[in-house]
Chains A and B, each alone.
Chain A
Amino acid sequence: MDFILRELNLVTFSPLVGVLVLLFLKKEQKNAARWIALVTSLVTFGISLVVLAQFDAANTGLQMEINETWFTFGDWEIKYALGVDGLSILLLLLTTFLTPISLLSTWSAVEDRVRDFNLFFLLLEFGMIGVFLAQDLFLFYVFWEFTLVPMYFLIGIWGGAQRMYAAIKFFLYTMAGSILMLLAILWLGNTQGTFYVPELILKGGIPENIQTWLFFAFAAAFAIKVPMWPLHSWLPDAHVQAPTAGSVILAGVLLKMGTYGFLRFNIPLFPEAAKEWAWLMALLAVIGILYGAAVSYWQKDVKKLVAYSSVSHLGFVMLGLFALNPQGIEGGILQMINHGLSTGALFLLIGMIYERRHTREFDEFGGLWKVMPVYAVLTLIVSLSSMGLPGLNGFVGEFTILLGAWGAGEGVLGTPLYAAFAAAGVILAAIYILYMFGRMFLGPLTNEKNENLKDLSWREIITLVPLLVLIFWIGLYPKPFFDLIAPTVEHLVATLGM
């Protein structure tokens, strides 16, 4: 019993309780299904706050650790090892925080097979939490692959017209990367005799040329997930076809599994390779920043625009991580959270207009400010946060990353050009986001179909408020967030020997 009541077990498995209850519901009980899922996810969020309360930021190791033998696989010991540290605490909170918000956003959007929708959503939450907490490579892989299945269904059943294509593309693309990682995991198991990550880091001693192979095998899985240019082509399809809540979770959390993977595994497990190839990662990141921004500008569909902007924003995260210095990595982690909040909010806002008009084409809109002032103001705030306006969260993250990348110009990256080009990306972001905002909200109200649109309802506003609070909080006073991650990150950088 004590074992079950360990904090991390509770936070991981609490969504499954909701799944079990949902299984006993009848198909017709739509509202009951919605409430059960919402309450479950709120309870999970509550437990994650308990985890936060007990979290000691000064401790750089794993906390609230659970470390049991799960089973033995031949002569291998597979551990059921969960733990949280400065690298994962914010991502855990982001997951538990965004899930109830996404569920709330589907209240009226999903009418078909409501029970199943909520069930898959909670399963997805279970998988994502597991990914962020698992400290055994085998366990991590199980969770990692597991998240594919519910997301596949969320896109495939409740998605748009091209949903089947998008769903299978999402699944196969991601699986292609992760099976290469599987081989690398097996290689580690064969040679090091363990899958337990802290032990693997401690042992080290992998020859440098082999580190490179393993680094890229892991990177294949994570880079697809992030997605890094040029492996991003699944993302626009998945985003555009996914239902709103799916997009929010996809952008908000699932993509971070990729960046988190780099941070948790690639950098500490293969430090030599990470240092050697940081330039390549940074280069791809910068290309992603500029490419994502440029492509965003040309989109006709606002959801596609936000999808491509994710490629750009996550380029910043990757640049920060592979600056391999404290500022860069801290900024990268914070930017993961920022992107989750801002892009999550943007997808929610897009979902709201889509529910009203069943289109997302810019040409259909224009002058919306006149009919939906509340909606317009909220969209403006989120857009400004996304483009990095000082005072809002995006600025803090991007600024710290650029600082880190600039600093790394004398270190691992060798030149400050990466930072310079990335800074250009900030300007491009301002262009495409303001362009989008202008086309949708400003000018005369030309399309008569938009004349009678209702402004946001209370439920919709409540969905957005928590996100806005955090957007301002991080923008104005980011210290508590940095405090949570800084000691662990500094410890990590110190172990890299730079």
Chain B
Amino acid sequence: MTGYSIEDILNILPIVFVVVWAMVLLVVEAFSKRRGLVIVLAVLGLVAALVLTVMHIGTEASVFKTMMTVDGYAVFIWVLVLASGLLTIGLSYDYAKRMGWARGEVYVLMLFSIAGAMLMASAANLIVVFLALELLSIPLYILAAIAPNDASSEEAGLKYFLLGAFSGGFILYGIAMVYGATGSTNLLAVVEAAGSTQSPLYMLVGAAMILIGLGFKVAVVPFHMWTPDVYQGSPTPVTAFMAVVAKAGGFAALLRVFISAFPALSDDLVPVLAAIVILTLVIGNIAAVAQKNIKRMLAYSSISHAGFIMMAFITYGQADVYADAVAAVLYYLLAFAVTSFGSWAVVIALEKAEGKGLELDDYNGLGKKYPMLSAAMLVFMLSFAGVPPTLGFGGKFYLFRTVLQGGYAWLAVIGVLASLVSAYYYLRVVIHMYFEEGDPTVRSEPVLNLVTAVTVVGTLALFFLSGPILAWAAQSVLALM
């Protein structure tokens, strides 16, 4: 263990802290019967990690030789997933009690998963990518199945585990191929060796397999089959967490790996990526139109948003555009995260035990009876649909800009048409809330209401802060290569 110093630890202190804190909580949870204590400690830990992360803004370092990188890009994702953790705790605080899975280990698992996502963002070596992915995923498999005596939750956990393990195999095999072609798993060494490799085909196949494996994680078509069932079956706060954190981690790794290690392959990969994008947009959106259950609808909608994010990714190989592409992805991820947590908070407010209260018809008359809550849902739906002045609009705006810059006008046209289709099903929620008569009941609980309030303000206010956010996102990219 020579050559490593305390500085390496300090550079990735937020990740280390989250992991250590999770282990501490594990012990606390074992000896304390009070769930509240674990929750308070988890919140404190996340806040402390956020503070540590914010102190890392501006840090640029290679950690443990070249195993990991800390840069603005990583820090952006760290902030995103840590904040997601806080919002998930807010979502689950009351819900877990109501649904009978109020157990402390939920929060421990969540912290581990967050650490995994953070690690994904700073992994500079394919082996670390794989380890990070497992650290992100394994707690999620358990979380998906955490609702006791609930067959659909168990089914969700098992499904997620089997397909997740399968996709992990793809990634590992892909890494082996890349190693075979270049003799290294380090991203920078791979790109250096790429020019002189004797077996470019191995390299291409390896990259494609990594793409498939991560495609499973971020749920793009045709690797999305598990998503609707798992999202619907998992406890709703877990679904929200999974939708945002797994996506953020997956895309974080995808971008860094492909931009750092495989820029030369972009010519070969662009048709594949374009096909994935089009399939994802078409199937995600059209399937969402047919849904009557809001969890399933949001699941398909999250698939379609993965398609949008993937769209920016297409330009990754173009030297003059990729920085915008990365900024667009980060911004879109932020927009998706805020809007998505908000809409899940509304879903949770209406959800009843045993999976009741999740049909679109259950939203009938919400606008009349609960004007604030339905106004919030309205904002989220408009943001998802990309109507200004919301964060979702900012995301799409910047995204399409990047795509046009990259010279894919036809793709942008497909994108706007897809967002038109998506407006239809998002507006349907609005129709149920405002235009139909009904008598819904809502669980109004301070913590949950706080999450709704924070996200609705975020959806609107952050749009007007687009400048600084994009400046931060774009700056972070400079360090990426």
A residues near B, CB below 8 A?
Answer: 71-74, 78, 113, 116, 141-142, 145-146, 148-149, 152-153, 156-157, 163-164, 167-168, 171-172, 175-176, 179-180, 182-183, 186-187, 189-190
Contacts and interface: CB of A to CB of B under 8 A. Distances in A.
15 contacts: A71-B465, A71-B466, A73-B397, A73-B466, A74-B474, A116-B371, A141-B388, A153-B434, A156-B431, A156-B434, A156-B435, A183-B416, A187-B409, A189-B401, A190-B404
B389 A73 contact: no
Given A146-B389, A168-B424, 9 more contacts: A71-B464, A72-B471, A113-B368, A145-B387, A146-B388, A175-B387, A179-B420, A180-B416, A183-B400
B476 to A, nearest CB: 13
Contacts of B404: 183, 186-187, 190
Contact of A186 (B389, B401, B419): B401
B222 to A, nearest CB: 26
Interface string B416-434: 1101100110011011001
A303 B430 CA distance: 27
B391 to A, nearest CB: 13
Nearest to A73: B466
Contacts of B387: 145-146, 148-149, 175
B423 A175 contact: yes
Size bracket, chain B contacts:
35 or more
B262 interface: no
A190 B423 contact: no
B382 interface: yes
A172 B424 contact: yes
B327 interface: yes
A167 B388 contact: no
A73 B470 contact: yes
A78 B387 CA distance: 17
A182 B416 contact: yes
Interface string B32-57: 00000000000000000000000000
Contacts of A142: 388-389, 393
B427 A186 contact: no
A74 B327 contact: yes
B9 to A, nearest CB: 35
Nearest to B428: A168
B398 interface: yes
Interface in B63-106: none
Interface string B205-238: 0000000000000000000000000000000000
Contacts, number: 90
A136 to B, nearest CB: 13
B467 interface: yes
B200 to A, nearest CB: 34
A231 to B, nearest CB: 15
B350 interface: no
Interface in B390-412: 393-394, 397-398, 400-401, 404-405, 409, 412
Contacts of B371: 116
Q: With a 10 A CB-CB cut-off, give which of B393, B412, B420 has the most chain A CB atoms.
A: B420
B423 A171 contact: yes
B450 interface: no
B479 interface: no
Contact of A172 (B324, B327, B368, B420): B420
A149 B387 CA distance: 9
A73 B434 contact: no
Contacts of B327: 74
Contacts of B398: 73-74
B467 to A, nearest CB: 4
B413 interface: yes
A172 to B, nearest CB: 6
A142 B387 CA distance: 8
B470 A74 contact: yes
A164 B431 contact: yes
A182 B400 contact: yes
A148 B387 CA distance: 9
Nearest to A163: B435
A164 B435 contact: yes
Interface in B359-406: 368, 371, 382, 387-389, 393-394, 397-398, 400-401, 404-405
Contacts of A141: 388
B181 to A, nearest CB: 36
A183 B388 contact: no
Contacts of A145: 387-388, 393
B86 to A, nearest CB: 26
B412 A183 contact: yes
B435 A167 contact: yes
Contacts of A152: 427, 430
Nearest to B423: A175
A116 B327 CA distance: 39
A73 B389 CA distance: 14
Interface in B317-372: 324, 327, 368, 371
B435 A186 contact: no
A152 B387 CA distance: 13
B435 A182 contact: no
Contacts of A146: 387-389
Nearest to B473: A74
Given A146-B388, A149-B387, A172-B424, A186 B434 contact: no
Given A74-B324, A141-B388, A156-B434, A171 B427 contact: yes
B223 to A, nearest CB: 28
A145 B368 CA distance: 24
A175 B417 CA distance: 10
Contacts of A73: 394, 397-398, 466-467, 470
Given A71-B466, A74-B327, A168 B434 contact: no
Q: With a 10 A CB-CB cut-off, give which of B393, B394, B427 has the most chain A CB atoms.
A: B427
Contacts of B430: 152, 156
Contacts of B405: 190
Contacts of B389: 142, 146
Contacts of A175: 387, 420, 423
B470 A183 contact: no
Given A142-B389, A172-B423, A190-B401, A183 B435 contact: no
A186 B465 contact: no
Contacts of A167: 431, 435
B215 to A, nearest CB: 27
A171 B471 CA distance: 33
A179 B419 contact: yes
B397 A186 contact: yes
Contacts of B423: 171-172, 175
